[in-house]
Amino acid sequence: MPDFPRCRRTGWDDADRWADFLAEQVTRAGRVPETLVALTRGGWVPARLLADRLGLKRIVSLRAQHWGVTATPSGKAELTEGLSGPVEGQTVLVVDDITDTGESLELATAHVASHGARRVESATCLHISHSRFVPTYHAETIDRDHWVWVVFPWNYWEDLQTLGRRAFEETHDFGAAAKLLQERCGFPTTPADVERALRTGARDP
Ligand code: AMP
């Protein structure tokens, strides 16, 4: 994985659009679930936006870990925290932000099925075409030849911390680091944001 991967910065308008699209698909299919399972951490915001649109009150969380830091996979995906509530006998929709390798969602849906869910479907905002697992619903597909690291609004500071640090190590200047991120990653940001991200303490990956 390159130090400065191609990025696509997305915003809250995109998140709203994806959620609208997914809610519409699920509703049209007549498959509004009883429970949403939100994959920690990328699936939390999409699941909450979907719950609002589908009128659902029940969101259960499940933690999958795969990509250690921005754009750097750390080996095989693992489920590191179990379901926060029961799913037995329920119709379930497992929600994540993106399927890239697809390992996280594949593991998660199998885990939910093994805990007795009556029906398990899945939904993601984005789907990369090389993923080994295809979610039941996805709002947008990215062609495998155009792989990008998607900077979601719920991951902006974390991604900026990782990539901004690399850029700052090369440039030793916040303005030059922001320029480097724009030119080499296609990641639009400001010198003030790079400075703020680097002042934030290191996080547990
Ligand atoms: P996966 O490789 O499908 O198991 O991806 C696991 C998780 O890593 C996703 O739910 C995202 O939170 C994150 N992730 C993987 N690939 C990307 C990407 N290209 N852009 C942004 N986040 C990603």
Higher pLDDT, 30 or 2: 30
> Residue 205: its pLDDT value, please?
46
User: What are the tens digits of pLDDT across the range 98-129?
Assistant: 999 999 999 999 999 999 999 999 999 999 99
Protein residue closest via CA to atom 2 of ligand 1: 101
Dihedral (CA of 174, 176, 178, 184) sign? negative
CA-to-CA dists, residue 181 to 16, 102, 144, 155, angstroms: 26, 27, 22, 16
pTM above 0.85, yes or no: yes
> Residue 10: its pLDDT value, please?
98
> Ligand 1 pocket, 77 CB below 6 A?
yes
CATH number of 12-148: 3.40.50.2020
Q: How far is the CA of 174 from the centre of ligand 1 (A)?
A: 27
Q: Where are the domains of the chain?
A: 12-148, 152-201
CA-to-CA dists, residue 132 to 13, 104, 167, angstroms: 28, 10, 32
Whether 201 has a pLDDT exceeding 70, the answer reads: no
> Ligand 1 pocket, 109 CB below 6 A?
no
Strand partners, 150: 8
User: What are the tens digits of pLDDT across the range 4-38?
Assistant: 999 999 999 999 999 999 999 999 999 999 999 99
Protein residue closest via CA to atom 21 of ligand 1: 150
CA distance 175 to 170: 12
Q: Which atom of ligand 1 is nearest to the CA of 152?
A: 21
> Residue 67: its pLDDT value, please?
74
User: What are the tens digits of pLDDT across the range 154-170?
Assistant: 999 999 999 999 999 99
Q: What is the chain's mean pLDDT, rounded?
A: 94
What are the φ/ψ torsions at residue 21 (nearest 5 degrees)?
-65, -45
Residues 6+ away with beta carbon under 8 Å from 141: 126, 127, 128, 129
Q: How far is the CA of 101 from the centre of ligand 1 (A)?
A: 7
> Residue 203: its pLDDT value, please?
54
User: What are the tens digits of pLDDT across the range 32-48?
Assistant: 999 999 999 999 999 99
Q: How far is the CA of 203 from the centre of ligand 1 (A)?
A: 18
Protein residue closest via CA to atom 19 of ligand 1: 149
> Residue 202: its pLDDT value, please?
54
Q: Which atom of ligand 1 is nearest to the CA of 151?
A: 21
pLDDT band (50, 70, 90) for residue 204:
very low
> Ligand 1 pocket, 107 CB below 6 A?
no
User: What are the tens digits of pLDDT across the range 56-105?
Assistant: 999 999 999 887 777 777 678 889 999 999 999 999 999 999 999 999 99
